[in-house]
Structure 1
Amino acid sequence: MKKNIHLTYAVCLFIVMAAFLFVGCPLESEQHILEKTPDNLLFVEESTRNNYGSSVTMWFTTPEEIGATSYTLQYSTDNTIWNNFQSYASDLVTTRLDQDNFSIDINYDCYLRILISGGTYDGQTSNETYCTRCTTVGYFSNNGLGEEVTNTGVIAPNVGYGLLASFRVEDPTDSTEIEDCLNYQWYRLDPEDYENQILIPGATSLAYTTTQEDRGYRMLIRATGKALDVSASEYDGRFNGFKQLKAIFIVK
């Protein structure tokens, strides 16, 4: 009789644990059913400056993923008149179907977008994003956005799961850290439209715990140089670049 009780208990415990894992762990397919369109194509990750000039790094859905043949980067200084971005006196165009990024030098603050050639979206443009030029030397190193269960004890992407970001800015001349130069801000990023970003009041630390209001969104943290956020003279000459990281998971 005792053996049967122990066996029944073991079976029940197994069922409970299996159910928890099934509900708590996101299936891979759940995170890849989001349709890729021009509205969620472009993500500008960072603006920094090295000894040679201001550099901007951006990522995008590859042309082959949406059935396009190529992309052309475009810019605007007023969000009205758009021109093709020039690199070595030629339009900056993807050279491979699986290309997923551009890294460019800019001399001004500007809006960026991508012009799509070929396929279903031929002639259409991507989401637009504003990019500030970094004018002080500094670059990001050893950055990351952790979404592990150890952050809060809740498994992503369920409400209550935690994110923990890390950023480091270094001086390119000697690789030493530039300390106390960043401010942080969390946003809700619409996974279907990257132009829709909602600032979360008070969420200004490296750690964030998701809430009911975050359901359906990806979380995004933006680290900006304090000189970019504050015009006071005490920040003159301080780092004024930015970097933003978006979560893998969509909160559910």
Structure 2
Amino acid sequence: MEELYFPEPAAIGASYYTVEYFDQDTNSFQPFVYNDEILQPDYNNLSLSVSNNLTLRLHAVTNDNKTYYSNTLEVGYPIKEVNFSGYSLDQSVYISDVMVPYVGFGLDFSLTIYDISGDENILLEEGYSYQWYRLNPYTFEQTKIEGATNHKYITTEEDIGYYNLIRVTMDEADSGDYIQVISISLVKKPIEIINFEKTNNGITLEFDYRFDIQDNLNIVFYDQDYNELKINSIEVLNDGASYHFKVDLTGDETIYINLDGNSFVLVSKEVGHMMQGGEINLKD
């Protein structure tokens, strides 16, 4: 697919352009016919699928009968046809010593590419490039991560709340083909409970991070027997990162809490690692 860009026809006083190609038989430029119609765009860009190499130009006649021709452009199918074979996206803790989904975890992409243009498939070890992107979980908008052009990537604070995506693109001189693979793990900030206070109608929890309760919040309280406790309401307090949870804790000695959103997850730090969730001993 060729992407062509040019000024609006109105910028030169024309209503539209006529796309022309160089005809080898007549040794002259002729109107380009696409889907049985002469291609005459009246805007400033064009996506064009062609099946062979062509020389194109734009021809315009202005409203006062002046004639203009653009520069010529060589377009056509890529020289090299490739096959993206088996690939893998490793997110193991060994990459950066940080576990998924906590910010700082690593991703390592591997891919096998073959040139299948000839009679024999040839394994390619160059002629392509890597680029990592952040992917918005709501809009799926892709944002290029500057400098992230290696098969390996370590997530950063800027990735929190996003998916990561890698795109491998063949050099344009050979082939415009590409493949992109998404990590289905949202990057999350690990947060902890730093203080709590039991109240007459629930419990107030203070965290080391102020999160948005609209951030696709997922929260569950369990008692010491792992029975789920109903949370009637959540109130965001004004003092830092404190929240009051209205919940009946009558007779409960210990509660366990699972809490996460798109950009954070509650953890308890154990020796050498982190465990998702929190535990509060109400007897103390």
TM-score (norm 1): 0.42
Which of the pair is proportionally richer in strand? 2
The structure in which a higher percent of residues are helix is: 1
TM-score calculated relative to the size of structure 2: 0.38
Which structure has the bigger radius of gyration?
2
